[in-house]
Amino acid sequence: MASPTPSAGDGARARLVHALGEVAGGDRKALKTVYDLTAAKLMGVCLRICQDREAAEDVMQEVYLKVWDRAGRFDASRASPITWLCTIARNTAIDWRRARGLGETAPVEAALDLPDGRPSAEALLEAGETRARIFDCLEALEEKPRGAIRAAFFHGRTYPELAAAAAVPLGTMKSWIRRGLLQLRGCLGDG
Amino acid sequence: MAEPLRPEEEDIALAAELALGLLEGDELAAARRRQLADPAFAAAVDRWVLDFAPLALGGVDAPVSAGLWQRIEARLPGEDQATVVALRRWRATAIATSAAAAVLLAILLLRPVPQPVVLPPPPVVVAQITGTGGAAFAARYDADAGMLHVRTEAMPTSRRAPELWVIPAGGKPVSLGLVAAQGNRDMAVTPAHRALLAEGATLAVTMEDAATAPHAGPSGPPVAAGKITIL
């Protein structure tokens, strides 16, 4: 995967953690560093949910303003910096969709059409991501729940949207996903 | 469904549904209320967020427009970072905060947006109080001790003294007493006034006659104001 996200091993992760620390102290240049290291990755997150480039870039502005505000709350013991940033981007994009009214922007038929975006073990290592079990656990699910859960994650789709996209009754979609979620929790463990 | 979920399974699934954003309408509202009221459930939601988060690394990147950074930079708080940095240090926590933007008398404050990836900090009442004339104050309230710590960062030169007011949402200003012309002042808040230091209330500073303070009402417009936020 060609990616401008941190890719120089521990060095890149450390640079990002360091830059976030400086952002917490009010350093604008450090925010630019964070931006340069992560914008393409976070734009991917936002664009998948917003389905509209202009909207995604509006959301991106909010994302980095949040990073500016919240950098001091980043806890490297709980998440890798890039996944922490992706979570902020995802939540901000989902909030934007909900504020706009759901379903307005999205070609829902595309909701289940996702690339198999499993990062390499090397990429995970480089990002400092230790919680990689989710990939194996998702892989172990049946195709329908797996696809629906991935669409929920990557596109920020709700139950009714997913049901419409898959042309199944709402109850069927809920059943697929809930069984899949329970199986995931069993696989991920309780700890 | 093939068979109904057991109650503990319902909770596991509901926490994941909230983490993923699957819910809408009443179901979403109910789950969010539960998240606020039930720490164990909130922890389960956080856990799901952390578990799902690495999936984002598998997503395809997307290029951004060349001018996007400039648009972000233009929206950052003013270039005068010295005050902001000083305020941050003074807050004396590891919590990064919203930087104040001095726009008229309305002031940006920390938004207590739930941030699922971090543990919530202990609640702290803070306000940044700024004005167009370069006045800047920061307030932190220690609810346990009933003490309001107010630091004067910058203030216009005046023979009068800065008096601090709390203005409840929709209410009248109530004097909390004089704050320092420069530096820190720790103010004991009377029990009757403590309940006023709530989220959404405004703290404001006016310039008053020190000899007759505290006053029943302000004699002039505020030189600085800011809303209280609970961290």
Residues of A in contact with B97 (CB under 8 A): 69, 72
Crossing angle of helices A143-155 and A28-50, rounded to 10°: 130
Tell me the per-residue pLDDT of B158-188, one tens digit each, with 9 for 90 and over.
788 889 988 877 677 889 999 988 888 888 8
Average pLDDT over residues B151-155: 81
ipTM of the complex model: 0.86
Query: Phi, psi at residue B178, to the nearest 5°?
Result: -80, 145
DSSP state of B189: P
Return contacts of B8-11, CB within 8 angstroms, 24+ apart. Answer: B9/A182, B11/B41, B11/B44
Residue pLDDT, tens place only, A158-174: 999 999 988 999 999 99
Does the beta-carbon distance from B72 to A65 stay under 8 Å? yes
A positions 40-99 inside 8 Å of B (CB): 40-41, 43-48, 53, 56-57, 60-61, 64-65, 68-75, 78-80, 82-84, 86-91, 94
Between B227 and A87, where is the model more confident? A87
Instruction: Answer whether A121 touches B (CB < 8 Å).
Output: no
pLDDT tens digits for B66-120?
999 999 999 987 654 444 443 443 333 322 222 232 222 223 333 333 444 444 4
What number of other Cβ atoms are within 10 A of residue A93's Cβ?
Answer: 28
Instruction: Tell me phi and psi for residue B227, to 5 degrees.
Output: -85, 150
Which residues does B132 contact at the CB level (< 8 Å), separation at least 6?
Answer: B102, B103, B104, B105
* Cβ pair A124:B57 closer than 8 A: yes
Integer Cα distance of B146 and B31 in angstroms: 34
Check residue B20 and give its pLDDT: 96
Instruction: Report percent pLDDT > 70 for chain B.
Output: 75
The conformation of residue B98, written as its DSSP 8-state character, comes to P
* A5 pLDDT tier (thresholds 50, 70, 90): very low
**What is the per-residue pLDDT for B121?**
42
Strands B174-178 and B224-227: unpaired
Instruction: Kindly write down the DSSP assignment for every residue of B16-27, as one continuous string.
Output: HHHHHT---HHH
Given a cut of 80, whether residue A106 has pLDDT beyond it is no
Confidence band, pLDDT 50/70/90 cuts, at residue B206: confident
The alpha carbon of A111 is separated from its chain's Cα centroid by a whole number of angstroms, namely 15
Inform me whether the C-beta atom of residue A115 falls under 8 Å from chain B C-beta atoms. Answer: yes
Distance CA B61, CA A82 (A): 13
Phi, psi of A63, rounded to the nearest 5 degrees: -60, -50
- The pLDDT score that the predictor gives to residue B167 is 80
Q: Please compute the mean of the pLDDT values over residues B219-227 and round it to a whole number.
A: 76
Query: A72, A113, A69: which is closest to A92 by C-alpha?
Result: A69
**Is the pLDDT score of A141 beyond 70?**
yes
> Residue B34 pLDDT more than 50?
yes
pLDDT of residue B137: 81
Across the A/B interface, how many CB contacts are shorter than 8 Å? 199
Q: Return the SS3 of A25.
A: coil
Q: Which of A125-129, B12-16, B160-164 has the highest mean pLDDT?
A: B12-16
Q: What is the distance between the alpha carbons of residues B149 and B2, in angstroms, rounded to a whole number? A: 60
pTM of this prediction? 0.62
Of B61, B64, B116, the CB nearest to A87: B116
Residue A117, CB half-sphere, CA atoms under 13 Å: how many?
22
Chain B positions touching A118 (Cβ under 8 A) are: 58
DSSP 8-state secondary structure symbol assigned to residue A76: T
From residue B102, alpha-carbon distances to B39, B73, B132 in Å are 37, 16, 6
Please give the mean pLDDT across all residues of chain B: 75
Mutate to test the interface with B, among A48, A67, A73, A141 (most CBs of B within 10 A): A73
CA distances from A48 to A90, A111, B60, B218 (A): 9, 9, 9, 53
Amino acid at B97: T
